[in-house]
Structures are given as structure tokens and as C-alpha cells.
Chain A
Amino acid sequence: MITLSGVKKSFGNNHVLRGVDLEIARGTSMVIIGGSGTGKSIALKSILGLVTPDAGTIMVDGKDAATAERDAFLARFGMLFQGGALFDSLPVWHNVAFRLMRGALQRPKEEAREIAIEKLRRVGLKADVADRLPAELSGGMQKRVGLARAIAAEPEIIFFDEPTTGLDPIMSGVINDLIREIVVEMGATAMTITHDMTSVRAIADNVAMLHDGVIQWSGPVADMDQAGDPYLDQFIHGRADGPIEAVR
């Protein structure tokens, strides 16, 4: 279980997180929604230690993320970045097998390559993609390679940062289905941040809405439409009128 308690983060006078409280149960898929610039990525990066919170605690399975041994802590996570964040200078297979070629999870090079090709197949890419450079791939293919990298070491917890941003609706559907299948198949705990409501309905067990630096609403995805929260209601229906200012 991942627990965030009173997490705050400011950048100068910009108070991005004002006290986030959130629980993500083991083996469930939590999707965090919210407008652009509401701190969704900062919340996610705070859990991984990429951003240090100003206040509050983050616990993963009862252990404080701030004091955990970094390598062992991070070995439990996989992450799909918004833009893929693939390493330009390395071929696709090396990107996917990156974690398997160093540290505690290190395998022989050939074995790591085989695992990488298997994971590429899992996300619907052919083996001949393995030796190409990321720049030679389309946006959708790069997302899939990023997804293959995220699951390569079979992590217990997977984060997805805006997994469908910049993709056409069909490719978005493919990525959403893949994420759902992989999370169910691996039994992983998933945390996704998005403002794509199609993704929310496809991926989520539970939904939390982040607004003005706090969790405005959270609950099962099935309850989202009947929640009666005016902020959530405005967001999921994409209305310009409501308590959330359209101009921010």
C-alpha cells in the first residue's frame, strides 16, 4: 500500500501541493485526475523521490520512502514517462533491458536482450524494432517501448505519467488496454496520472481528483459519475462553467 499524508510542495510562491492525503491499496489501479498544473506529476515524482516534499510523509508498505534504501526501493517501481524518456543513444532493446543490465537485477547480456524482446512482443512490437534507435520510432511505438521498459523487471508498482498524451484515439485505446491487461496480469499496484477521461474509465479501479493542491474527491471509478462533487462533475464532463476556473 502507498500512503501519502499531508504532502506539501512549493516552488517559490507557487504552492503546488498543499497537503495531499491519499491511499492506494496493493494490487489496485489508482488514477489521479486534475487540470494541467495542479501538481499530479509532482505528487507522483514525490513518491519516487525525484522531488523532495517540503512536508508530509510517504509510506510504501509501511516504510518511509524518504529513509528507504534507494536501490532496493526503486527496484520495486516501473515508470512510463509522459514523453517516453527513452535514451536516444541506446537501441530499443537496450532501453527496455536497461535495469536488467546493472545493479541487483543484472542478467547476462543475451538473457537481458531476450527478456527485452519478449517484453516488446508483450506490448505489440515486433522483434525487428529491438535494434532500432528510439528516434526512428513513431510516438505510439515510443510509448509502447516506454511501457515495455516499465514492466521489464516485473515491478510490484507501476506509475504511468499521462500515458495517452499526444496519441491518436486508436493508439490511446491500445495503450489503455495494454496498461489494464499488464496491471491485471502482473498483479501490480498502478498509479496513473491523466486528464483523459477515456483512460480513466479504461484503467482505473479508483480515482482521485487533485485540485488546488489537495485531493478534492476520491473513490471507486464506478461512483465517479454519481459523486455529486461539483469540481469532479465539471472536470469529467469538460464544462467551462463551474467552480474550477477555466483561465488559470
Chain B
Amino acid sequence: MTERRAEDLRDEDVLDLVLEGDREAFSILVLRHRSRVERLGMGFFHDAEEAADFTQDVFLKAYTALGSFKGRSLFSTWLLRIAYNTAVNAKQRRRESLPLDPDDILPGDIGADETHERGETIRAVRAAMDGLPPRQAVCIELFFGYSLKYAEISEITGFPVNTIKSHVFRAKKLLRERLGIGPEVDDAL
């Protein structure tokens, strides 16, 4: 399969190829989604090596369960749900109660060349995640960092849409405050 052709294929087309017996086609899905799964793993485990093992575990689980993918959601949503459940179960198995470190789940250092907006956005998202249990903090990251809709986040995490909405709403409020664009009460149309 040429590079050009692989790029043109949708995830669902690649899935069909794998289910028809082309194992190597699975590498296209790994290439496309590896970094997102890895980032989720970093958010939970704070360790690159563990995140690597986690990423491998998630993709192998997805591969073995590929036949049960019903196509009701996007493949990426389905994969993130496997990743989220794997991470939560691993944490529960180890009985860890450490809070999520936002530094791990969010982009690294804010360099001098970062724009004011970007820096403030990162700080605001971090602030919104502070104090939340890891499973809920992930909701905010999935909204801002993965650009997922409330329903997709709900499907991945199992939290009700309203719970996710309220966390994201709080994060947006913080973001407005940080950017100095909060509402002005006396402002009327």
C-alpha cells in the first residue's frame, strides 16, 4: 500500500482492510492515533515508559476487539474509550490516589516565544484541572486538547454530559478571567 493511498483512507476503510485479513494496515491506525493515546497515558501515569507500555496495551486491546467495533461512534472515540478504561482500571488495580499532574497531561514549558493567549490558555486549563480527580480532569483535556464534543467525552468517560459541561464551563470562565475578557455586568445591548 503506497503512502499516498494510506493517507486517503478513512479509519473505517482501514478497519475493513484489517478485518479482511490485512494485519499490516493496522499500522496506519497506530500511526494516526498513537500520540493521542500516549498523551492520555502520560496524564494518568506521569511516566514516559509507563505511557509507552500503556499505549501498546491499548492498541493490542483494540486490535483483538476490532471485530466488535460497531461503527456507532468514530474509531478515535472508541479507541479513546478503551484507553480511558484501561488507564482507570490500571490506576484502580494499583490503588493509586495521587492527583493528576496537569504538567503531564498538558503541553510542556511555556517558552518565551509563546503568545500571550496560548500561555494564558495553558495556565487557565491547568487551573481548571487543579483539584479535580484525574478522571474528571481528563474531561477538560479532552475538550480543549482533543477538541471533542460533550457527547463524545461522555461516551469515553461515562460521565453525564451535564457534569462534563459544568467542568468545561468553569474552565472557560477561568480562561476568560486570565485573558482579561470577563463579562462586564453593566454592558447592555
| A pairs with B | no
Residues of chain A whose beta carbon lies under 8 Å from any beta carbon of chain B: none
